[in-house]
Structure 1
C-alpha cells in the first residue's frame, strides 16, 4: 500500500499516531475505549487478537508504561501497518487466531483484549472493500475469539472484549467454566437510550459475583450537534489517555 493510500492520524490528543488506510476500515472510538478500560500495570504481558493497525494495544501502551505488547493480525496490510506504528514497542504476529503459531501458544498473558468483527454475514450484507470486510464481517465465529483469548491467559489473567450489546448472550455462553469475576459495562450514545455496545471483562479463576455496571454515556444532550459533545469521562479517555475505571 503506497503512502498516498494512507493517513497519519492522532489518537489520545496526539500521544499516539497511527498510519491507517485512507479508505476501508479505520480505527474509531471503540478500540480506544477498550484500551482505556484495561487495568494493566507496568511489567505485565498483553496480547491483542485481531489488532488491526494497533489502535487499542498502542493506546494502552501509551497510558501504561513498561508493558510487554503482542498483537496478532491475520490481514497482511494491517499487520504491516501495526508493525510500522508500534516499532520496537509492539511485537506483531501475522496469523489467524484460529491457527496461532507455537510462538504465541506457548506463552501466557496477564491481559488479552479483542474487538471482534461486529456483523454476522448471515444476517447482514458484506461490504465491497476486502480490508473493511475483514474488520467488520464475522468470518471466525465469536465463540472462537472468546475461547482462544481465554486459553492465552495466565492464572488470574483478565479478558477484555468490546462488542455490540445484542451479542452479549453469545459472549457469556462462550466463556469457559474457569472464567469468573465477570463484569459488563454497557455503552449508550446518550442518556435514556439503550446500550449499543458493551465492554466485557472476566478473570481466569475469578470468584467475584457478576457485576452489571451503570451505563457509560458517550455524548451530552439529547440531540446531535456538530462539534465535540463527549461527556467529560469519555473525553478524558479519548483525548487525554485517561483510564476508564469500572
Structure 2
C-alpha cells in the first residue's frame, strides 16, 4: 500500500502540491531557494534532492519555459514529484539516484565543448539534508532520508554536481547557518565555484539567522560577499512584505539588486 498523501498548495494556492502525510513536510526553504535562481526561459536547471518537487514547481511557475531536471533518492517521493509537475502543467525530467552517485539512466549531454559527454546545466539548486549522520534518527524513513546525512556528504554532493554546470552557471544552496563555512569551502575547492554571495534569512529583527542562501558561479574569480539578507517576519509573526512577495506571489529574490555598487 502506498503511503498516504495530503493535497496542499504553494504560492498562496497558485500551485497544487501533494506530499506525504507522514514524512518530510515542505517548509519555506524550497520556495526561497527557487526564488533565488537567476534562470531564464530556455535554460536548463537541475535540482539535487528535489523531494516532491516544491522548488522545481515554484521555479517553473516564475520562469515559464525553463527546462527542469531533478534527482531524488526515494522512488515513491519521485512519483509524487512527477504528479505535482504534471498536475500543474509543467514538464520535468526526473531521475532516481542516491547522491553523490549520479542517475544510472544518465543526464542529458550539454553544449560545453570542454566537457564532452558530460551534462551541462545553466543552474543547479540544492536543499541538502541538514542534520549530521549522528543526529537522532527520525522514526519515519522518508523524513530521515530528507533531513539526515553522513558527515562530508555536503562536500561530496558539491564535488559531483558543480562540474555539471556550464562556465558561469549558478550554483544555489539553502542550508542551516551553521553549515555555511563547510559549504563555502566545498564550493571554492579547486576553483569550482566562486563569487559566492551569502544571503541570511532573518526570522525577526534582532534575531540571528537560522538559514542562509549561498549562490556562486562556475569558475568565477570574483570575491565572496555577504548581502543584507531578507527579513522573514514582522512583529506579531506575520510575514514581511518582501517575504510575502516571494512566498505568496512567486516573486524573484533578486540578489543582484543588493550587490555592491548597486
Q: TM-score, normalised on structure 2?
A: 0.87
SS in 2 for 1:98: coil
Q: Partner residue of 1:99?
A: 101
Which of 89, 112, 127 is the equivalent residue of 1:115?
127
SS in 1 for 2:107: helix
Q: Partner residue of 1:147?
A: 159
How do 1:198-209 and structure 2 match up within 5 A? Answer: 198-209=212-223
What per-residue deviation string (whole Å, max 9, x for no partner) do you get for residues 115-138 of structure 1? 00110032x211110001011111
For 2:223 and 2:69, how far apart are their aligned partners in 1? Answer: 30
Compute the displacement of 1:102 (Å).
Answer: 5.9
How do 1:81-92 and structure 2 match up within 5 A? Answer: 81-87=80-86, 89-92=91-94
Q: Partner residue of 1:173?
A: 185
Is the 1:195–1:215 contact (alpha carbons within 8 Å) kept by the matching residues of 2? no
Is 1:238 paired with 2:247? Answer: yes
For 1:102 and 1:148, how far apart are their aligned partners in 2? Answer: 16
Compute the displacement of 1:197 (Å).
Answer: 0.5
Q: Partner residue of 2:113?
A: none
SS in 2 for 1:168: helix
Is the 1:113–1:149 contact (alpha carbons within 8 Å) kept by the matching residues of 2? no
Q: Partner residue of 1:16?
A: 15
Is 1:127 paired with 2:138? Answer: yes
User: Which runs of 4 or more aligned residues in structure 1 lie more than 3 Å from their structure 2 counterparts after TM superposition?
Assistant: none
Is the 2:95–2:105 contact (alpha carbons within 8 Å) kept by the matching residues of 1? no
Compute the displacement of 1:2 (Å).
Answer: 4.2
| Structure 1 unaligned spans of 5+ | none
Count, aligned residues: 239
Is the 1:120–1:138 contact (alpha carbons within 8 Å) kept by the matching residues of 2? yes
How do 1:22-37 and structure 2 match up within 5 A? Answer: 22-37=21-36
Q: Partner residue of 2:173?
A: 161
What per-residue deviation string (whole Å, max 9, x for no partner) do you get for residues 205-236 of structure 1? 21322110113111001x54xxxx00001011
> What is the aligned-residue RMSD (CA, Å)?
1.6
Q: Partner residue of 2:55?
A: 56
Q: Partner residue of 2:37?
A: 38
Is the 1:69–1:91 contact (alpha carbons within 8 Å) kept by the matching residues of 2? yes
For 1:196 and 1:180, how far apart are their aligned partners in 2? Answer: 23
| Structure 2 unaligned spans of 5+ | 109-117, 256-262
Compute the displacement of 1:61 (Å).
Answer: 0.5
